[in-house]
Amino acid sequence: MRILLGVSGSISAYKALDIARGLFKNGHEVKVILTNGALKFVIPEVFTYLGVQDVYKSQDDFSHKNVLHVDLARWCDVFVVAPASANTLSKLAQGRADDLLSSVFLALEPHKNVLLFPAMNSVMLAHPFTQQNLEDIKKLRTLNNLFISPTDAGILACEEVGLGKLPSVDEIIEMIPTMIRPLKFPTQKTILATTGATIVPLDPVRYLTNSSSGITGFYLAEAALKEGHKVIMIAGAHSTAKLNLFSKHPNFRLVRAKTVEDMKNAVLAELPHADLYISSAAISDIEFDVSDEKIKKDTMGDHLKIKPACDILKTVIEKKSPTLKIVGFAAETDPSDAVLNKKMQSKPVDLLVGTKVNNGLTKDQQITGFNVDFAEYRLLSPKGFTFEGILTKRELAHKIILQFFPPN
């Protein structure tokens, strides 16, 4: 992907160095435009050491043989301004073209993607002029693919506390590829997915869980968002914090659930909106009779009676609409033909993902499936096995999303 990164005069301009480096490490081509204000905070040459192809200053339009602002506008797939200062937002809202950054903005074709990440003092952000400028930019009908990120709250560089902080570098790096609207935009679908581990309480201080990190859900969200779909992610309370990196994405919603019952209720509340349900969470299949007080050691045996937990996937299958597609996951120490076929018969789904797992706590065994970025998978459809082998969890996620919603 070709990313043109504009950097304006905010104290958070130094973070643009890490943004550029992260984008380059993720395989993107990056060029940078620095405003006069940005030059007060960052040195152009540093960007080139971090992998940026070219760095341009405010008035470089006049030192090139070609029309630079037009060439850059045609070159990029996405135009990102991070940080976007109050002054830069004012220029963009008014259609001014007195430097390279603002000229590129006017030269962008309607289908190009524009991502703005404001950063400034909270009083400046709340000023009616700034708010009006933000509204004016949003109303531009020619910008079909415009996204203006909300700012974060916290301690600002001026030591005041409030909104106005630039989102984290990791959040911006993850957001950019998922905000690119495909040229051949598919019919937008809604994917409802579960991920991570549930918690089974025993008493006020003890509980049973497993080592599922929820990273599969992160990659499922990433894959679906890149294809332009909506994602509702129901995640275990301790699932990876990486899911929060999509919190500002307009097509993403995250719901945290602690217990199996919490997750079931969240799933059923969202199910009527879904086109595809993916049950990738490591949901407990047992529960305890929860004690109101901490269980003492000498009475522990009296309280460790287990009972079956509710089966969320089975409930979804029973309540599914005729158009809903379902993907089930089977985390097994031995995902054999017999085991997976039995699961498919008891819970018929459109795709069953068999995963070989081990928590690594057993003697002489390494962790597999849980808390790692790859696993051994066996994919079973109603017609038979369609894939067997090792995949990264990102590869698995893309395979699932594209199987059900291939690009037009």
Write out pLDDT tens, residues 255-298: 999 999 999 999 999 999 999 999 999 899 888 888 888 988 87
pLDDT more than 90, % of the chain: 73
Which residues, at least 6 apart from 324, have a Cβ–Cβ distance to it below 8 Å? 271, 274, 275, 276, 277
Write down the pTM of the prediction: 0.88
**CATH superfamily, region 2-178:** Flavin prenyltransferase-like (3.40.50.1950)
Active-site option among 106, 158, 163, 310: 158
Q: Mean pLDDT across the chain, nearest whole number?
A: 91
Q: Respond yes or no: is residue 310 known to be catalytic.
A: no
Name the nearest CA neighbour of 245 among 225, 274, 270.
225
Q: pLDDT class for 45, splitting at 50, 70, 90?
A: very high
Annotated binding-site members for CTP: 285, 294, 329, 343, 347
pLDDT score of 363 more than 60: no
Tell me which of 28 and 184 has the higher pLDDT.
28
Looking at the chain, the domain(s) classified CATH 3.40.50.1950 span 2-178
pLDDT bracket for residue 141 (50, 70, 90): low
Residue 362 banded pLDDT, cuts 50, 70, 90? low
The string of pLDDT tens digits covering residues 224-237 is 999 999 999 999 99
Query: Residues 39-62: what's their mean pLDDT?
Result: 94
Is the pLDDT score of 211 beyond 90?
A: no
- What average pLDDT score do residues 75-98 get? 96
User: Residues 322-354: pLDDT tens digits?
Assistant: 999 999 999 888 888 999 999 999 999 999 999
Res 368 pLDDT > 70: no
Residues of the chain with CATH 3.40.50.10300: 190-404
**Is 206's pLDDT higher than 80?**
yes
190-404 has CATH 3.40.50.10300 classification = yes
- pLDDT of 254: 97
46-71 average pLDDT score: 91
